[in-house]
Amino acid sequence: MMDVARRAGVSSSTVSLYLRKPDAVSPAASQEIAQAIEDLGYVPNLVAGGLAAAGSRVVSVIVPSIRNAFFAETVASLQTELAADGLQVMLGHSEYSEHDEEALIRTALAWAPAAVVLTGLNHSKAARKLLAGGGVPVIEMWELGGQAPIDMAVGFSHAAVGATAARHFAQQGFTSLAFLGARLSQDRRAAARAEGFVAEALRLGLPEPQILNHPAPATAEAGAQLLGLAQASPSEFQAVACSNDLIALGVLFECQRRGVAVPGDLAVMGFGDLSFSSTSNPPLTTIRPSGDLIGREVARLIKACVHGAHPSETARIVDTGHLLVERKSG
Amino acid sequence: MMDVARRAGVSSSTVSLYLRKPDAVSPAASQEIAQAIEDLGYVPNLVAGGLAAAGSRVVSVIVPSIRNAFFAETVASLQTELAADGLQVMLGHSEYSEHDEEALIRTALAWAPAAVVLTGLNHSKAARKLLAGGGVPVIEMWELGGQAPIDMAVGFSHAAVGATAARHFAQQGFTSLAFLGARLSQDRRAAARAEGFVAEALRLGLPEPQILNHPAPATAEAGAQLLGLAQASPSEFQAVACSNDLIALGVLFECQRRGVAVPGDLAVMGFGDLSFSSTSNPPLTTIRPSGDLIGREVARLIKACVHGAHPSETARIVDTGHLLVERKSG
DNA sequence: CTGAAAGCGCTAACAT
DNA sequence: ATGTTAGCGCTTTCAG
My answer on whether B135 and B227 are in the same domain is no
**Could you list the residue range(s) of the whole structural domain that residue B164 is in?**
158-288
Give CA–CA dist B167/B244, Å, rounded.
Answer: 18
Q: Which residues of A fall within a CB distance of 8 Å from B80?
A: 93, 95
Within this chain, do residues B296 and B225 fall inside the same structural domain, yes or no? Answer: no
A270 occurs within a structural domain: yes
User: Domain for residue A44, yes or no?
Assistant: no
d(CA A4, CA B317): 37
State whether B67 and B136 are in the same domain. Answer: yes
Q: Which residue is nearest to nucleotide D9 (CA to C1')?
A: A48
Is B323 in a helix, a strand, or coil?
A: strand
DSSP three-state, residue A164: helix
Residue A318: in which H helix or E strand, if any?
Answer: strand A317-319
CA–CA separation, A55 vs A47, rounded Å?
Answer: 10
CATH code of the domain in which A97 resides? 3.40.50.2300
Task: Check CB contact under 8 Å for A130 and B47.
Answer: no
**pLDDT of the residue at B314:** 65
User: Would you call B178 helix, strand, or coil by DSSP?
Assistant: strand
Residue B55 above 90 pLDDT? no
In a domain, B282, yes or no: yes
pLDDT at A92 over 70: yes
pLDDT for B308:
77
The Å distance, CA of A62 to C1' of C13, is 38
* Residue among A51, A70, A90, A111 with most chain B CBs within 10 A, to mutate: A111
Beta pairing, strands A323-325 & A286-288: antiparallel
Residue B43 Cβ under 7 A from any strand D atom: no
B178 with B216, same domain? yes
Phi, psi angles (nearest 5°) of residue B296? -65, -40
Out of B107, B129, B224, whose CB is closest to A88?
B107
Read off the pLDDT of residues A116-162 as tens digits, 9 standing for 90 and up.
Answer: 999 999 999 999 998 987 789 999 999 999 899 999 999 999 999 99
The answer to whether the CB atoms of A90 and B92 lie below 8 A apart is no
- The reply to whether B150 and B298 lie within a common domain is yes
**Rounded CA separation B34/B130 (Å):** 42
Q: Are residues B88 and B185 in the same domain?
A: no
Q: Between chain A and chain B, how many beta carbons pairs sit less than 8 Å apart?
A: 156
In this complex, the nucleotide whose C1' atom is nearest to the CA atom of residue B54 is D8
The whole-number Å distance from A49's CA to C1's C1' is 22
Regarding whether A250 and A298 lie in a shared domain, the answer is no
Alpha-carbon distance of B70 to A1, in angstroms, equals 40
pLDDT at residue A233 is higher than 90: no
A45 lies in some domain: no
Give helix A188-203 / helix A158-171 axis angle, nearest 10°: 40
B222-265 pLDDT, tens digit per residue, is 999 999 999 987 778 999 999 999 999 999 999 999 999 999 99
Measure the CA–CA gap between A219 and B73, rounded to whole angstroms: 14
Do B145 and B263 fall within a single domain? no
Chain B positions in Cβ-Cβ contact with residue A107 (cut-off 8 Å): 46, 83, 86, 88
Asked if the model's pLDDT at residue B184 lies above 80, the reply is yes
Q: Please, which pLDDT band fits residue B24 given cuts at 50, 70 and 90? A: confident
Interface touch B76/A65, C-beta < 8 Å:
yes
- Interchain contact, A111 vs B220, CB within 8 Å: no
Is the residue at A328 inside a domain? no
pLDDT attached to residue B126:
92
Average pLDDT over residues B98-112: 93
Residue A232: inside a domain: yes
Q: Is 90 exceeded by the pLDDT of residue B79?
A: yes
Residue A268 sits at φ, ψ, to 5 deg, of: -130, 135
* List of chain B residues whose C-beta atoms are within 8 Å of the C-beta of residue A46: 107, 110-111
Total structural domains in chain B?
Answer: 3
B69 Cβ nearer than 7 Å to chain D strand: no
Q: What is the pTM of this model?
A: 0.93
Same domain as A193, residue A299: no
Burial A145-182 (b: 16+ CB within 10 A, else e): beeebbbbbbbbbbbbbbbbbbbbbbeeebeebbbbbb
Q: Read off the pLDDT of residues A2-56 as tens digits, 9 standing for 90 and up.
A: 889 999 999 999 999 999 888 889 998 899 999 999 988 888 999 999 999 887 8
Distance from CA of B200 to the nearest CA of A (A): 31
Query: Is B112 (CB) below 7 Å from strand C?
Result: no
Residue A314 has pLDDT above 70, yes or no: no
Strand, helix or coil at A69? helix
Same domain, A68 and A89: yes
pLDDT band of residue B20 (cuts 50, 70, 90) is confident
A278 pLDDT tier (thresholds 50, 70, 90):
very high
Flag whether pLDDT at A234 surpasses 80.
no
Question: For A79, which of B45, B92, B278 is closest by C-beta distance?
Answer: B92
Nucleotides of C under 7 A from a protein CB: 1-5, 7-13
* B98 — pLDDT class (breaks 50, 70, 90): very high
Quote the mean pLDDT of chain B: 94
Give the separation between CA A146 and CA A131, rounded to whole angstroms: 19
- Measured between alpha carbons, how far is A122 from A129 in angstroms, rounded to an integer? 13
Task: Estimate in Å the CA A75 to C1' C11 gap, whole number.
Answer: 34
Average pLDDT, chain A: 94
Do A74 and A135 lie in a common domain? Answer: yes
Backbone angles phi, psi at B155, to 5 degrees: 170, -150
User: What is the average per-residue pLDDT within B292-308?
Assistant: 93
Residue B101 (CA) to nucleotide C13 (C1'), in angstroms, measures 39
Query: Do residue B43 and residue A130 have CB atoms under 8 angstroms apart?
Result: yes
Task: Say if residue B137 is in the same domain as residue B165.
Answer: no
Task: Answer yes or no: is A134 within a domain.
Answer: yes
Name the nearest CA neighbour of B64 among A277, A93, A76. A76
Work out the average pLDDT over B42-61. 90
Instruction: Confirm whether any atom of chain C, the nucleic acid strand, is less than 7 Å from CB of B16.
Output: yes
Residue B261 lies in a domain: yes
C-alpha distances in angstroms, A17 versus A10, A14, A141?
A: 11, 5, 36
Report residue B272 CA to chain centroid gap. 12
Q: Hey, how many other C-beta atoms are within 10 angstroms of the C-beta on B94?
A: 21
